[in-house]
Structure 1
Amino acid sequence: MWMYSWQELFGMTGAAILIDWLVGDPKWPTHPVIVIGRWIRWVEGKLYGKLAYSDKQLRARGIVLMLSTILLSFLVMAALVWIADAIHPWLGYALSTWFISTTVAIKGLKDAAYLVAVPLQAGNLADARKYTGYIVGRDTAALDEPELTRAVVETVAENIVDAVVAPLCYALLGGAPLAMLYRASNTLDSMVGYRNDRYGHFGWASARWDDAMNWIPARLTGMLLVLVALAKPGLSAKRAAAAVRRFAHLHPSPNSGIPESAVAGALGIELGGLNVYGGVASERARLGWPLRPRTQRDIRYAVEMLYGVSYVMMGGLLCALLVFAWIG
């Protein structure tokens, strides 16, 4: 059975960040998240069906969906790495690095944000609303520039945990198999982890498991965002830290409020507020202090903070590798 040293895990994870910076999400072969998503839909169809189940039965079936998805993702990835490593260690390193990079989405998150920022800068609200609708669940047809900006900044901030810090942390702990298990957990939450009539019980286990896996990475992300704000002129690290303490617990998610509050505090803007989903208004916790109006420039600030977090993590990995080389 393969087993990588700390040096190898740190090196592969750093290389995966570099690949994502340069390449982003692969168009070919099929992205692992797409494969995982197809599995989830297939199993959901088998477990949910058209029969009427009690709440307890739905929760039990949801647990089966969650366990089968994360275990299969881990075991398939472990088998692929084991086979590649048996052929040649360098093939194992290459395969692991590539698959770790597919669990990270720094460039993909930036590209999605800039799809909105570019038309906003040109005053094209129609395209900005259309592209915002690709990345958020709320209604976007009537949103103005400050609200479009809020939607994108919230998405970027929240996903610094899901798309950067958490998968990299799990890659450091268990290589590509554990990183892919995390990505499967996050995909489950995004597909069935909703508090609605269909998924309130069936997706309960997936939502709670994702919360548990993100608990430590979310708090690490908060600290990293404060460090980024400290290093970047125009941002306030002190206000970012204060916003996390003051507002993060108001968010319905035990994790998402931390990065959103940190970004809001650093920028001096307010996030949260009134959202509309399918024509139904929903008031969300307001995070940060509205020291100035939101503008499309805040999207670029949020993306710069996203990349700043990835730079800090890459710097930490390089320092660790230098230490390993020095003591080894």
Structure 2
Amino acid sequence: MIYHMIAFVGGFFLDLIMGDPYNFPHPVRWIGRLISAIEKHDLGEEDTKALSGEQKRRCGRRLVLLVCGTTILVTAFVLLLAYGIHPMAGCLVEMFLTYQTLALRCLCKESKKVYICLRDKTLEDARYAVSMIVGRDTQNLSPTGVAKAAIETVAENTSDGEIAPMLYLALGGPILGLTYKAINTMDSMVGYKNDRYSDFGRCAAKLDDLVNFLPARISALCLWVASVFLGKDYDAKRAWRIYRRDRYQHASPNSAQTEAMAAGSLGIRLAGDASYFGKIVNKPTLGDATRAIVYEDILRMNRLAYGAAVFCLLLCLGIMGLILAF
């Protein structure tokens, strides 16, 4: 457990310092390639295989088993091999895998690019920058729409990219942490409700809802605690009120949890209708428009996410300390 705690803290700070270097080998990229290969084998290019809905659902269940099973086996093998060589070697490998599982620095870095484009460059530059981190169509977004999209993705991914992985890493190390990332990656790649993926990605989407149920709520609480301590740009009382009112406004039971808390803390309105693959998707709004969204809100959201991550670190260390004590 001592080695696990050292690896956990070291991996957390490696992510804050280094982020995700471009063109660097990354387990999540390898998981993505595995998902893509299985998808193309089962569905063909552009859904060229004539499969029934039940056949697609069966393929989707097999995808989940193959990806999760492969992730668990490979991660366990690497860790056992490293710890078998020497405990310090195992600790260093676990630290590296922990670092690779977290993504807050990268997320905030990419959202800051959107902020810089809105401040110093053209709207087209800003639309392109935000298209790198969101799944919606961005070609017609206004400056406010671009800023709002960046804020929303940081708010949502504070859970998916940092808090939830931290909780699973604390409980089960990189084996559980990377398995969570595998589930999350499957949902982001095949969890869409369209003709190609509505059946094939159903199992992955439902499993993602399940594994994020508690972490999404803990993430919202971490954002609330950060709101208490971060100063006058944030309003913890309003954040709690908006959270209780709007946290179930999205179709997913989890995605509105952190967005509602962030909207309340910042005093802005998030969500609402958005375009995906050329089709308008109607969504309720989150929060009250007590003021207009400005591009500086992207940086405010980033600071809120960092504050939540620090509180989660303390929470996880407390959990691991209790496990060690007993």
Provide closer, same or farther for how the CA distance between residues 126 and 179 of structure 1 changes in structure 2, counting only shifts above 3 A.
same
Q: CA deviation at 1:320?
A: 6.5
Provide closer, same or farther for how the CA distance between residues 276 and 8 of structure 1 changes in structure 2, counting only shifts above 3 A.
same
1:232 aligns with 2:227: no
In structure 2, the residue matched to 1:184 is: 182
Q: CA deviation at 1:27?
A: 3.6
State the alpha-carbon separation in 2 of the partners of residues 28 and 86 from structure 1.
30
State the alpha-carbon separation in 2 of the partners of residues 319 and 209 from structure 1.
27
2:33 corresponds, among 33, 38, 49, to 38
Deviations along 1:157-201, one digit per CA (max 9) or x if unpaired, are: 000011111111111111111111011111101110111000000
- The answer (yes or no) to whether the contact 2:170–2:316 under 8 Å persists in 1 is no
1:244 aligns with 2:243: yes
- The answer (yes or no) to whether the contact 1:270–1:288 under 8 Å persists in 2 is yes
1:122 aligns with 2:129: no
State the alpha-carbon separation in 1 of the partners of residues 134 and 117 from structure 2.
17
Segments of 5+ residues of structure 1 without an aligned counterpart are none
- After superposing the two structures, state which structure 1 stretch, 278-287 or 163-172, moved more: 278-287
Provide closer, same or farther for how the CA distance between residues 318 and 181 of structure 1 changes in structure 2, counting only shifts above 3 A.
closer
In structure 2, the residue matched to 1:309 is: 308
Deviations along 1:76-109, one digit per CA (max 9) or x if unpaired, are: 0000000011011111111011011111001100
In structure 2, the residue matched to 1:14 is: 9
1:290 aligns with 2:289: yes
- After superposing the two structures, state which structure 1 stretch, 294-303 or 277-286, moved more: 277-286
- The answer (yes or no) to whether the contact 2:166–2:313 under 8 Å persists in 1 is no
1:223 aligns with 2:221: yes
The one-letter code of the counterpart of 2:220 is: G
The one-letter code of the counterpart of 2:14 is: I
In structure 1, the residue matched to 2:82 is: 84
In structure 1, the residue matched to 2:161 is: 163
- After superposing the two structures, state which structure 1 stretch, 130-139 or 195-204, moved more: 130-139
SS, match of residue 30 in structure 1: coil
State the alpha-carbon separation in 1 of the partners of residues 132 and 62 from structure 2.
30
The one-letter code of the counterpart of 1:79 is: F
TM-score (norm 1): 0.93
State the alpha-carbon separation in 1 of the partners of residues 136 and 322 from structure 2.
47
State the alpha-carbon separation in 2 of the partners of residues 172 and 148 from structure 1.
35
1:275 aligns with 2:274: yes
Deviations along 1:6-55, one digit per CA (max 9) or x if unpaired, are: x4333321111100011111445411111111111111122223432221
State the alpha-carbon separation in 1 of the partners of residues 121 and 200 from structure 2.
43
- The answer (yes or no) to whether the contact 2:118–2:143 under 8 Å persists in 1 is yes
State the alpha-carbon separation in 1 of the partners of residues 161 and 299 from structure 2.
17
Q: CA deviation at 1:321?
A: 7.4
State the alpha-carbon separation in 2 of the partners of residues 191 and 303 from structure 1.
25
- The answer (yes or no) to whether the contact 1:11–1:317 under 8 Å persists in 2 is no
SS, match of residue 285 in structure 2: coil
- The answer (yes or no) to whether the contact 1:9–1:171 under 8 Å persists in 2 is no
- The answer (yes or no) to whether the contact 2:222–2:309 under 8 Å persists in 1 is no
SS, match of residue 281 in structure 1: strand
Deviations along 1:225-265, one digit per CA (max 9) or x if unpaired, are: 11011111121111111112111111111111000000000
SS, match of residue 250 in structure 1: coil
State the alpha-carbon separation in 1 of the partners of residues 320 and 254 from structure 2.
30
SS, match of residue 276 in structure 1: strand
